[in-house]
Structure 1
Amino acid sequence: MRKVIFLLSGCLLLSSCGGDVPQQREATTTKKQSPLILQNIVLTDTDRQGKNQLWEIKAKRAEYSRDRSSAVIRDVQAVFFQNGRKVMTVKAPRGEVRTVAREIFLFNGVNALLTENATTLKASSIQWSPEKDFLECTGPVELDQPKQKIHAKGKRLEGKLSANIFSLLGDVEATSTSEGIKVNAPRLVWNLTRNLIDGDQGVVARSEAKQILVTAPLATWDLGKQQVTARAENGTPVVAEQKLQDGWMQANQMNWNFSQQVFEGEGNLQARFGKPPQHFTASQATYNLATSQVQARGARYWREGETLSVSSLNMSTDLRNNRIKTSGGVTSRFVPNR
């Protein structure tokens, strides 16, 4: 059910406003209505069953089309609802309401606040189709979550307001201002409810302060745990580099925990650290950046330029002091120089 609330005035644009209309023109006017202009109005609408409210729109001016199927609105303040629940408030200079199709378009710079986690949204334009549960924004598009201190930007956004899951597309970058972490990908999917950001199609995560760079086909950024989990795909591994300690790791999966300053890698793991390089292969390993220690399982260790390597089920290595401790199935292998 639609409602139009007139706050000040409305005027039907005929040959004149307020004047008598000749009787011979009444039939023509009925068949082909003139545009309707309303000032300072509130528009509300519900779903086709008349149960759930879809939106409440305040506009300083609305001009309806001749068939009343749409209205161009100006100086817009709107509230969007999904399944009867308030999900977004929006401001825009201009827009269009398509009453029959039940769609809203907002243009010329849109500022919005998503109810979930008080996330702000900025975009050039927004299209919202509540019956399809679909939101699309064109860019540049920016998302900000002050609580987590996360800022994300891209060229386009699409998603579902009911689920609070949004895909940012086109040269996407997400930044943690508190941790100094940046994640880049062609696409990032932000689940506002679960505080997860998923990237695919080639993801790069970096810390310029700690000179860390991680590249992977797939990655998930857990904002609550302050951790990026990177994963291999189709034979392309995860690679991590740390220039401060000449560190390099490669594995099928890798967890980078920012707050604990720890890397955890597993599956076909290879690594080297320092100069001259100390090499590892392992099924699983944990590298602590703060202490420069490596804990590994199913590991093999050797130093570049030396002929002795050590293998064991469990291995603890102090990279700063070039010390290793081994236990379980320890074997040494001597490879003569050639």
Structure 2
Amino acid sequence: MQEPDEPAASADVIVVGAGPCGLAAAIATKTAGHRTIVLERSSVVSGLASYPTYMTFFSTAAKLAIGGIPFVVATEKPARRDALAYYRAVVEHFDLDVRQYERVVEIGLGSRGLGVGSGTAGSERREVGGGGRGGGSDEAPGFLVKTAPRAGNERVIRANAVIVATGYFGAPNKLEVPGENLPHVSHLYREGHQAFRQDVVVVGGGNSSVDAALDLYRCGARVTLVHFGPTFDKNIKPWVLPDMNGRLADGGIAVRWNSRVHAITPSEVVIGTAPGEERLAAAHVYLMLGYLPEVGLLRDLGVPIDSRTGVPAHDPLTMETPVRGVFIAGVIASGYDANKTFIENGRFHGELIAKRLGRREAGGGRR
């Protein structure tokens, strides 16, 4: 792949992902004097925007606040709509350079250019700029970030450091069963109006599946929950569980414990249970199975990814990976276990990164 002929734009820091933790990192680096650009393939906090329309957060508003800007709501816990408005206001307050609908295609080491091959130069790249963390120059080698704006041609931005904060919604966990890609099957749930008086199957035993099942029930759907375990996951929101247990007890929502989906057809979900196979009528199917972190950009840069946990190699005190100048922030630091990092603790990753980068004076250089 050849690089574009036009001069590249430049920044001190590029943040990939405009979720709450990515925005918090951008605030921290900008406040420290680094010219920061945030690149987002969708809209600001698009992960939160994909939550159910009437969802209420587990965390209090204070624990979702970033950049020292108070998050004030009338209720104890904020709703999705409150959070979307808050994070938009934070972007405006700090005048962050957020480039929405601009997908990052590739990140290359500045001295090597783009298109050097996936993950082949990791060991070399860790040595550029002074040899590893133990000695030599503390300067990162610089990066070329190739992007694809939704409207316009591909372009390249140069940066001294890159923060990957691509969040939780990388790729959905798949059942890998026949019919999973049918049009009435979804891995996201927004609202239940379209399922009024329809048979619906919700697969999963966590917060997302419980929230979806309850909302569908209230919208007049006939809901069956299917879960491979004998009960709900242990991290269910405590104020939701009594409501769900009540619907199971009165028959408002049906459940199939210890059951696995074998196939999905245009009108049914075929499950395996202890007594044998069962067919459940289903006009809509929601597979609320969680997501896998999006680590392709890191892997291509040579950052090791733990095959068991999915955690990118990094120093938790600085959030820097073994590739000098490449950092991670937010839930991506938890790998496959999204229950370890939330907005309420991932929002502080940016401060660790900014401390590692140092403060840049107006005339350049670090203090």
The TM-score by the shorter chain falls in which range?
under 0.3
TM-score by length of 2: 0.22
Greater strand share, 1 or 2? Answer: 1
Q: Provide the TM-score with structure 1 as the length reference.
A: 0.23
Give the structure with the higher percent helix: 2
| Structure with bigger gyration radius | 1
